């Protein structure tokens, strides 16, 4: 029995009208969110993640302080309404903990934690909508929120999911595609072209893996450009409003890249 949808049809189109190497639409909103030191809402197509960053600040628990660097604390909550089927996930859910741990280990080598000994940086990730590429959205959102909060990092972290249908690689998978083929999530540091995260839960052939890794790296560079543009745009507007001395009421600089 053939699958109900064709992931990649003969004309080279994917089920949502994209071609193999086309990423979904990205929107970035860097608006201030309450008391957070930095915040970002990012969407990749129909996946939407809101990230707020607090810190560096004093750790709530003494036991969590590290004497020579800051501790990174990642907490992920997945909204019950984020998937088609309403499903509540508890904080202790294994998948959520794993997601948080992955994000943490991705950022540990990138954030210059040694500048803030004995302090803590909190990254709160809220998943609002899910349609594939959840990890990639979380990481990208966290990068933007961290830089929005002014936390020094060595580089941006740009994450992309790549998959392969028999022999054709494709980028930025939707949920439908993720269910149907092996995929990897790759996070790279664009300046040095180093990968800070490569993870997959499915089996992938070695030869295909190389190809996907390379492609995801290139896609990371594209994302880098978009992130930089969004941050520059946001900063320019902040600076402009400071210069004019007026507060920008009801500021809404959601940026559509």
Partner 1 sequence: MVEITIRKRPRTESVVTQRKFYKKTARGKVIKVLRERYLRDDIGCGIQGCGDCENSTSDPLPFTGDTQHNAYPDGHYILPDTNVFLHQMDLMESSLFRPPIVLLQTVMEEVRHRSIPLYNRLKALIRMDEKRIWVFYNEFRSETAIIAEEDESPNDRNDRGIRRAAQWYNEHIKLNRNVVRGQAKPKLPVVVLMTEDAANRNKADESGIPVTSIRNYISMFPENTAAQLLDSLSTAEETTLEPKLSGDGRQALYPEYYPESTLQAGLTTGNLYKGHFNASSYNYLQGTVSVHDLPKPVLLIGRENINRAVHGDQVVIEIFDEDKWGVEGDEVVDQEATLKNDDAADSDEEEENDEIIRKEAHAARVGEAAASKKQAQPTGRVVGIVKRNWRPIVCHVDATALPSASVPGSNSAKSLSIQTLLAHPTSTLLPRIRIRTRQGPSLVNKKILVAIDAWHTTSRYPDGHFVRVLGDIGGEDAEREGLMLEFGISYGAFGSAILGCLPPEGDQWIVAPKSDDGMWKGREDLRDLTICSIDPPNCQDIDDALHARPLPNGNIEAGVHIADVSNFVHADTPMDTEAAARGTTVYLVDKRIDMLPALLGTNLCSLRPNVERLAFSAIWELTPEAKIVNVRFTKSVIRSKAAFTYEEAQIRKDDPTLQDPLTTAIRLLNTLAQKLKAARMAAGALNLASPEVKIHLDSAESSDPIDVEQKELRETNSLVEEFMLLANISVARKIFEAFPATAVLRRHLPPPQTNFDKLKDILKKRKGMSLDVSSSGALANSLDKCVDANEPAFNTLVRIMATRCMLPAEYFGSGSVGRDTFGHYGLASDIYTHFTSPIRRYADVLAHRQLAAAIGYSPLHASLHSKANVERILEVVNRRHRMAQMAGRASVEYYVGLALKGRNERQGQGQTVTEEAFVIRTFRNGLGVFVSKLGIEGLVMFKRDLTEFDADNYCVTIPGSSAAVSGDKDVLISVFDKVVVNIEVETDKNTQKGKVKMTLVHPIDSRAL
Question: How long, in residues, is the chain?
Answer: 257
Contacts of 19 (CB under 8 A, 6+ apart): 12, 13
Interface of this chain with partner 1, residues 2 to 21, rule: CB under 8 A: 2, 6, 9-11, 13, 15-18, 20-21
- The reply on whether position 213 binds partner 1 by CB under 8 A is no
> How far apart are alpha carbons 93 and 34 in whole angstroms?
27
- CA angle (168, 28, 114) in 5-degree steps: 95
Distances (CA, A) of 137 to 16, 36, 100, 165: 19, 19, 13, 22
Closest CA to 22 of 173, 200, 226: 173
Among 53, 125, 215, 255, interactor with partner 1 by CB under 8 A? 215
SS3 state of residue 159: strand
Interface of this chain with partner 1, residues 221 to 250, rule: CB under 8 A: 222, 226
> How far apart are alpha carbons 143 and 74 in whole angstroms?
13
- Rank residues 37 and 172 by Cβ distance to partner 1 and give the closer one: 172
- The reply on whether position 201 binds partner 1 by CB under 8 A is no
- The reply on whether position 22 binds partner 1 by CB under 8 A is yes
- The reply on whether position 88 binds partner 1 by CB under 8 A is no
Among 167, 243, 245, 250, interactor with partner 1 by CB under 8 A? 167
Among 32, 46, 98, 117, interactor with partner 1 by CB under 8 A? 46
> How far apart are alpha carbons 175 and 26 in whole angstroms?
16
- The reply on whether position 34 binds partner 1 by CB under 8 A is no
- The reply on whether position 24 binds partner 1 by CB under 8 A is yes
- Rank residues 37 and 180 by Cβ distance to partner 1 and give the closer one: 180
- Total chain residues near partner 1 (CB under 8 A): 41
> How far apart are alpha carbons 226 and 1 in whole angstroms?
41
> How far apart are alpha carbons 107 and 155 in whole angstroms?
10
SS3 state of residue 76: strand
Mask 120-159, x = binds partner 1 (CB under 8 A)?
-----------x----------------------------
* Widest CA span in the chain: 66
Among 64, 112, 202, 257, interactor with partner 1 by CB under 8 A? 257
Interacting residue ranges for partner 1, rule: CB under 8 A: 1-2, 6, 9-11, 13, 15-18, 20-26, 45-46, 84-85, 131, 164, 166-167, 171, 174, 176, 203, 205-208, 215, 218-219, 222, 226, 256-257
């Amino acid at each position: 029995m053939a699958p109900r949808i064709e992931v990649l049809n003969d004309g080279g189109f994917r089920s949502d009208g994209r071609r193999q190497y086309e990423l979904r639409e990205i929107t970035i909103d860097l608006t201030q969110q309450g008391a957070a030191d930095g915040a970002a809402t990012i969407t990749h197509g129909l996946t939407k993640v809101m990230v707020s960053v607090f810190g560096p600040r004093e750790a709530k628990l003494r036991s969590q302080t590290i004497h020579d660097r800051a501790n990174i604390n990642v907490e992920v909550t997945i909204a019950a309404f984020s998937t088609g089927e309403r499903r509540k996930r508890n904080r202790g859910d294994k998948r959520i903990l794993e997601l948080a741990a992955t994000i943490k280990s991705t950022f540990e080598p990138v954030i210059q934690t040694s500048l803030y000994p004995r302090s803590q940086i909190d990254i709160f990730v809220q998943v609002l909508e899910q349609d594939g590429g959840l990890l990639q959205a979380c990481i990208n959102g966290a990068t933007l929120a961290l830089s929005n909060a002014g936390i020094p990092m060595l580089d941006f972290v740009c994450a992309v999911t790549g998959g392969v249908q028999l022999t054709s690689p494709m980028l930025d998978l939707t949920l439908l595609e993720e269910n149907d083929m092996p995929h990897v999530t790759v996070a790279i540091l664009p300046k040095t072209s180093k990968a800070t995260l490569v993870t997959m839960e499915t089996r992938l052939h070695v030869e295909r893996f190389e190809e996907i890794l390379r492609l995801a790296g290139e896609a990371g560079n594209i994302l880098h450009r978009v992130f930089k543009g969004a941050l520059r745009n946001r900063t320019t507007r902040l600076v402009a409003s400071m210069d004019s001395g007026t507060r920008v009421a009801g500021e809404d600089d959601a940026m559509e890249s």
